[in-house]
Amino acid sequence: MDVLNRGCLYFVRLLGKIILLFCVFSYVYQIHYKIFPVTFPVVLGLFGILYDFFINKGIFKIKLCNFYIFCGFYLVIISLIISTVINGTHDYTFLQFGIVNLLNVYSFYTISILFKILYKDISFELVVKYYIASALLQLIISLVMFLDVDKMVYFTGLLKYTSLAETKLIEEMGARLIGFGTQFFQSGIIHGMILLLLVFYADKKKCVLYEKVFLCFAFCLMSIVGMMMARTTLVGILMAIAFVVFKSNMWKLKIKISSIKLVLIMFIVLCAFSLFVMNFSYEVKTSLLVAYDFGFELINSYTQTGQLETASTNAMFRMYIFPSLFKTWVIGDGLWMDSFGRFYMHTDIGFIRMIFYFGIVGLISFIVFQVVSIFAVYRNNKYLGKIPFILIFVYFFVLNLKGFTDLFYLIIPFCYCSSFTLKHRC
């Protein structure tokens, strides 16, 4: 009977972990399943609000109820209102972003309840591990979708897309990996961020050999396959490598034994990965070569022409256009998209889009909102040191030189963490 009870308990816990992974996966990639009228994180957020109101009696005791975060959030909303009222427009895109971010706070509140049911607490280590697992699951699904058209039809049939996303998906199909529920630039933001979190975690965690091998494997897979989905992943890769080099003192030419072991493990993982790919069929390797050429076009361009450029980077530089009116510089034109549903002023550059939308005033408000959010996460996770959070801000800044980037929902879950690692094993 004891064996049966233990077996049942193990099955229930395993089922709970699968449900938790599904929720974290859907949260990280903000997935909109066709069976719901809104994204799944919004569904979780609404559940969290109901739970807080009816069961928790409105006592929202989460540390992220931070005065400065909400001040930053209100500054963005006020900037939006000023711009739309003065310009007489009705483009409330950032109001929608604000509502979604608020619901994301409650969404992870719901997920944190699941964490506490399964693990009795929630730690930085746990959240990072579920982030990594979610990324690996995404990459595997994306590879399957890319290599099998029937699977592509099946998986995309589960999701609801905007007309713009659907058009882009059709255009890019077969040329690059398509993410499940997230595509292109956004997938690059997510995977780059998870790569940074992975090295932050590895820096503080005393990993045994099998953990080091797994983390190196996860880093390589996310880097290579992530680039095949979105070349923006390169920003996260380079910053993660820079962090590892800095923390290992390799830049001082003081090479430790642990650093040599890390390089050796990474080399072995890459060799094993290459041998694994070589055993694929000719058709599969041909398809992967197409995705590889897309993802590593910048490197191929440099080796062939000596220039670090792609069609995408050239198009990006052409999008660096600036307002000609003083009013636009100050409060913007109150438009995020034009009347045809395209990017306003035909620019996709994050900072420039925000200037055209609600001016320098709104741009500064948005940057303040991101900074105070990062600072709130830092205050709750000081054991990581200051460097990781400085890097997160740099990551946010660099990505907005390419496209609009909001890291709030990816970093705010770490305000729920009570420690770096759990004090007990579950």
Which tens digit of pLDDT belongs to each residue from 135-167?
A: 999 999 988 888 888 888 888 888 887 766 666
Q: CA–CA separation, 103 vs 112, rounded Å?
A: 14
The phi, psi pair for 342, rounded to 5°, reads -105, 165
User: pLDDT digits over 11-68, tens only?
Assistant: 888 898 999 999 999 999 999 999 999 999 999 999 988 888 777 765 555 544 566 6
Q: Report which of 411, 424, 423, 405 is spatially closest to residue 384, judged by C-alpha positions.
A: 411
Tell me the pLDDT tens digit for each residue of 319-375.
888 988 999 999 988 888 887 778 888 888 989 999 999 899 999 999 999 999 999
Those residues whose C-beta lies under 8 Å from the C-beta of residue 80, and which sit 6 or more positions away, are 92, 94, 95, 357, 358, 362
Mark residue 253 as left, alpha or beta (left: phi above 0; alpha: psi -120 to 50; beta: remaining).
left
Distance CA 371, CA 395 (A): 12
Alpha-carbon distance 117 to 230, whole Å?
36
The domain ranges of the chain are 2-415
Q: pLDDT grade, residue 259 (50/70/90)? A: low
Sign of the Cα torsion 233, 296, 243, 131 reads positive
As a whole number of angstroms, the distance between CA 257 and CA 348 comes to 45
**pLDDT, tens digit (0-9, with 9 covering 90-100), for 175-212:** 678 888 877 888 999 999 999 999 999 888 777 777 87
In three state form, how does the secondary structure of 92-148 look? Answer: CHHHHHHHHHHHHHHHHHHHHHHHHHHHCCCEHHHHHHHHHHHHHHHHHHHHHHHHC
* Nearest CA-CA partner of 292 in 229, 374, 219: 229
| Residues found in the chain | 426
Over residues 382-392, the pLDDT tens digits come to 888 899 999 99
What the block records as the tokens of 232 is 């923006």
Other CB atoms within 10 Å distance of the CB of residue 83: 26
CA distance 88 to 93: 15
Return the amino acid letter for 172. E
Q: Evaluate whether 246 touches 238 at the Cβ level (below 8 Å).
A: no
Helix axes 2-28, 124-147, angle to 10 degrees: 70
Other Cβ atoms within 10 Å of 142 Cβ, number = 25
Q: Which tens digit of pLDDT belongs to each residue from 269-291?
A: 777 766 766 666 667 777 778 77
Answer yes or no: is pLDDT of 130 > 90: yes
The dihedral sign for the CA sequence 47, 53, 54, 59? positive
Q: What is the pTM of this model?
A: 0.89
State the sign of the Cα–Cα–Cα–Cα dihedral 368, 39, 52, 379: negative
Which position has the higher pLDDT, 40 or 95? 40
Question: Which DSSP symbol is given to 33?
Answer: B
Find out whether 58 and 50 touch, Cβ atoms under 8 Å. Answer: no
| pLDDT at residue 290 in the model | 79
